[in-house]
Chains A and B, each alone.
Chain A
Amino acid sequence: MLKWVRKGLRAGIKTTGYPHTRESAPGISPGRPAAMLCDGPQEAGAVAGRCPTGALSNQGNMIRVDHRRCVHCGRCRQDHEHAMAWEGGYEWAGGRKAPGEMAAAFSRSLHIRILDAGACGACLSEIKQISSPYYNIHRLGFFITPTPRTADVLLVAGPLTDPMRLPLERCYAAMPDPKRVVAVGACAVSGGIFGPSFAAAAGISQCVPVDIEIPGCPPPPLALLHALLMVAGKTKQT
C-alpha cells in the first residue's frame, strides 16, 4: 500500500484555483455561441435557421442565443460566411429565483445528491469529475452524500424519462428543508433533443421546483462548480 501513497504524493497537486483564481487551462470548456450582430435581418435569419434546436432567434440584425436549448452541436459556427462567434468561459449557471430568495442557508458546507433522470452519460461523467483531483469539491466544503435525508442539493441530469418521475419526486420529498434543485445540462433544463415526447418530459421542472439551471451539453466541471458556489452563496448570480 505504501507504493500507492508514494504515487499519490509524486503526482503532486493538480487542483484548480477556481473560484479564487480564474482557470484558463486549455480544454476545460468547449465554450458556447455568443449573441451576434449581423449585417441585416436576412442574414441573421439565415444563421438562426441553421440551428436544429431553435436556440437561435433573430431580432432585426441581432441573433440571440437561448442557452437553455443549445446542445453544442457546433453547426452555427461551421464553414458558412456568417458563422456565430463562440465565447470561452464556464460560469453558465443561472437562477430561476430572485437572488434574495437564495438564502445563505448553506454557507458552511453542502451535501449533494445526484440523480440520473435519463442522462446520456456525458453530464454524469462531468459530475464525476468534480470530485476528482483536478476539481476537488471537498476543498470547498462540498460533499456527495449517499442519502437524500442528509442532502442539501439535488443535482439532476437528463430530460426526465417517465419511469424516473416517481424516484425524483420521492428523492426530493425525502430531502430536509431548506433544499435546492440544480438542473444539469440542456436535457434537464429544457428536455434538450429528447423531450417532450411520449417517453420523456421537457426537463425536470415539470416535476420538481428548479432553483438553478446549468445550460450546456454537457456543462463542464467548472460550470458545475460555479452552480454549487451559487447555491452556497459564494458567488454573485449571473
Chain B
Amino acid sequence: MGPTLNNVLKFTDLPRMVASRWGDSLEIKIDQERQLIQITCDPEVLQDLCQWLFYRQGYSLATLIAEEAPPEWVMRYILYGDTGNGQVHVLTRFPLSRTKVPSISPAIHAADWQEREIEDLFGLSFEGHPKLGDFILHEDWPEGASPMRTAFDASRLHPRQESGPPWRPEMIVKTPGAFMMPVGPVYSDTAESAHFLLETVGEDVVRTIPKFFYKYRGVEKIAEGMPADHALLLAERFSGSSAFAHSLAFCQALEAICKIQAPPRARALRVLLAEMERLRHHTAAVAGICSSTALAVAASQTSIIEEDLLRLTCRLAGHRYFFGLNTPGGLARDLPDGECKKASEAAWIVLDKLKELHEMLRFTSSFLDRLEEVGSVSRKKAVAYGLVGPVARASGVSRDLRVAQPYAGYGQQTKFQVPREAEGDGYARLRVLFAEAEQSVNLIHQVASTLPAGPVRTAAAPTEGCALGWAEAPRGAAFHWLRTDGSGNIRRYRVMPPSFVNWHGFHLAAEEFAFQDFPIIMATFGLSNAECDR
C-alpha cells in the first residue's frame, strides 16, 4: 500500500533485516503459526523502526495500544502487511513514573489521532506531536483525570468542571468577512451527533474542522472487569450498523487467546453473514448519497432495497442487525442450508435492482455533476493517513483484510475481487460501493452453495492471554485487541474501528468546496460517529 515497493522483504527475512539495522537494542520473537513478528525496542528506536516498516516495507498501521502493567507501561504498535507478510507488533516498555513517549506521528501521520486519544485518556504525553489537548474528552472534563487509568472509577458519572467559552480554533483566513460556520451537533434528520466548524469567506468553505466524541461511551473502559461474553455485547452494539463485523473481530480475538478455531461450517456462515451486512450497509450508503443530492426517487427506491435486506436478515438470522449471532468459538445457532440458499437467491434479486439503479444514476447528469471532482482525496494522502475501506479503495489503495490477513472462511475457497478506483472523488467512492456490493453477492452465492456440514460452535474455555482479532467491516479494517485474566474476564480492551481512521482523513476531502456540497462529501465518506466515538 505504501509507495512503490520494489525491495520489500519477505516476511521470513524481516527479522534478520530488522536485527541488522537496529542490532542489540531489539528483542525479536517470531510466531510462525500466527504469522506474527514481535519486536521489543527502546522508545528511542520506535519512530525510526515504525517509519521503516510503514514506508519502506509497506506495512499499514492497525492500532496503538497503551497498557498499564505495573510497574511499567507497555506500548504496542500493531502493523499489518499484505498477503503473506503477516503482522508486526512493536512493543516498548518504560516505568509507570515516566509519562512521556516519543511520538511517531511526525513520521507516520496515520498515528496522529491515536496518539491524541491515548494522551487524552491515559494522560501520557507524546513528545514531538504537533497538536495535543482536548480530543475525546471535551472542555468540561477536569484536567488530570484520565479515565483509562486502572485507578479511575468508571461506574458513575465523573464530576465536570465549569468550562469557559465554547471551543474555537484559530482561523487561517484573516480577511474581513471570514467566519466560522458551526454545524451540529444536532441535525434536522437522523444524522449522528457530531460538530463541524466550516471556515468560510462567504460562498466557499476553506476548510473543515471536526469536533467529535459527543457519543463517547467509554466502551474500552466499561468492558474492563466484565466476563468476555458480556463484553461481547459491547463489541456488537457500539456500532449497530456494522455489528456483525465487530462482534466477529472480537470473537476471533478471544478464539486466538483460547487457541481454538471455529468449526468449518461456522467459518463459512460467518462469511455469508458478513457479506450480507456489507451488502446492506453499502445499499444504505448509496441511499444516503442519493438523498444528499436530493434525488428523491432514487433515495426512496434504495431505501426499499435496504428494508428488503433488513427483513431478509431477520428471517435468516432472527435479528434485523445480526445481533446475537457471533459467539466465542463460532455461532450461537445454526442456520439451515435451505434458508441460506433462499437468502442467496434474494441477494441476486437485490443485485439486479442495484445494477439497474446504478445504470440510471450513471446517465443522470445532474447527479453526476454533484459527485464528480467533489471531495477528492489523493492516493498519496490516503496512504499517509492510513485510510481504509471503500474510501481508500476509491483513492487507489486496495488493501483489504479479507485478502491481506485472511480470517473466517475467506482466502480458502472463496474467490472475489477487491474493487479499486483511481480518482478519489465522490463518484469514485460511489462506484466502489456498487462494485463491492456485487462482490458480496458473489461471495454469498459461493458460500451458500458450498456450505460444509457439521457443528457451528467449538467450546471455549476461559484462559489468560492477549490477542488481536480483525475483520474487514463494511467501512474498512476493524481491530479488536483483548487481554483476559485467568477467569476469562477482560483486563484491557482496545477497539480501532474504520470510522475513526477515516474521519481523521475527512478534512482532506472537505477543503475548498461550496457550502451545498458538504452533505454530499459527508455521504460519500459514509462514516459513522457511533463507530468512531465508541
Segment at the interface with A among B61-69, B153-161, B412-420: B153-161
Indicate if the CB atoms of B301 and A74 lie closer than 8 Å.
no
Q: Which residues of A contact B303 (CB under 8 A)?
A: 128-129, 132-134
Cα A124 to Cα B319 in complex, Å, equals 16
Q: Which residues of B contact A144 (CB under 8 A)?
A: 188-189
Binding site for A on B (CB under 8 A): 138, 147, 152-158, 160, 185-186, 188-193, 213-219, 221-222, 229-230, 233-234, 237-243, 284, 295, 297-298, 300-301, 303-304, 306-307, 310-315, 318-321, 323-324, 332-333, 360, 364, 366, 528, 530-531, 533
Cα A11 to Cα B304 in complex, Å, equals 10
| Minimum CB–CB distance for B386 against chain A, Å | 23
> Is A28 on the interface with B (CB-CB < 8 A)?
yes
Cα A82 to Cα B188 in complex, Å, equals 46
Q: Which residues of B contact A4 (CB under 8 A)?
A: 295, 297-298, 360, 364
| Minimum CB–CB distance for B186 against chain A, Å | 5
Cα A167 to Cα B314 in complex, Å, equals 34
Instruction: Choose among A14, A53, A194, A196 the residue that contacts B156 (Cβ–Cβ < 8 A).
Output: A196
Q: Which residues of A contact B243 (CB under 8 A)?
A: 120, 122
Given contacts A4-B297, A120-B238, A124-B192, contact A167 B530 (CB under 8 A): no
Indicate if the CB atoms of B156 and A198 lie closer than 8 Å.
yes
Provide 16 A-B residue pairs closer than 8 Å at the C-beta atoms, listed in order of the A residue: A1-B364, A11-B301, A30-B318, A73-B323, A114-B190, A118-B217, A121-B530, A122-B237, A125-B190, A127-B190, A129-B310, A146-B188, A147-B188, A161-B533, A162-B160, A199-B147
Indicate if the CB atoms of B312 and A27 lie closer than 8 Å.
yes
Cα A26 to Cα B313 in complex, Å, equals 10
Q: Which residues of A contact B311 (CB under 8 A)?
A: 25-28
Q: Which residues of A contact B192 (CB under 8 A)?
A: 116, 119, 121, 124
Q: Which residues of B contact A198 (CB under 8 A)?
A: 147, 152-158, 218, 221
Given A158-B215, A197-B154, output 5 extra A-B contacts at Cβ < 8 Å. Answer: A118-B193, A121-B530, A134-B304, A197-B218, A201-B157
Binding site for B on A (CB under 8 A): 1, 3-5, 7-8, 11, 14, 25-30, 52-53, 71-75, 78-79, 114-129, 132-134, 144-147, 158-159, 161-164, 167, 171, 192-201, 217-218, 220-221
Give the A-B pair count, Cβ closer than 8 A. Answer: 209
Most buried by A among B156, B237, B284, B297: B237
Instruction: Choose among A1, A28, A71, A125 the residue that contacts B237 (Cβ–Cβ < 8 A).
Output: A71
Across the interface, name the chain A residue whose C-beta is closest to B233: A193
| Minimum CB–CB distance for A50 against chain B, Å | 10
Q: Which residues of A contact B217 (CB under 8 A)?
A: 118, 159, 161, 194-195, 197, 199-200
Across the interface, name the chain A residue whose C-beta is closest to B242: A121
Given contacts A114-B190, A164-B214, contact A122 B240 (CB under 8 A): yes
Across the interface, name the chain B residue whose C-beta is closest to A5: B297
Cα A72 to Cα B217 in complex, Å, equals 20
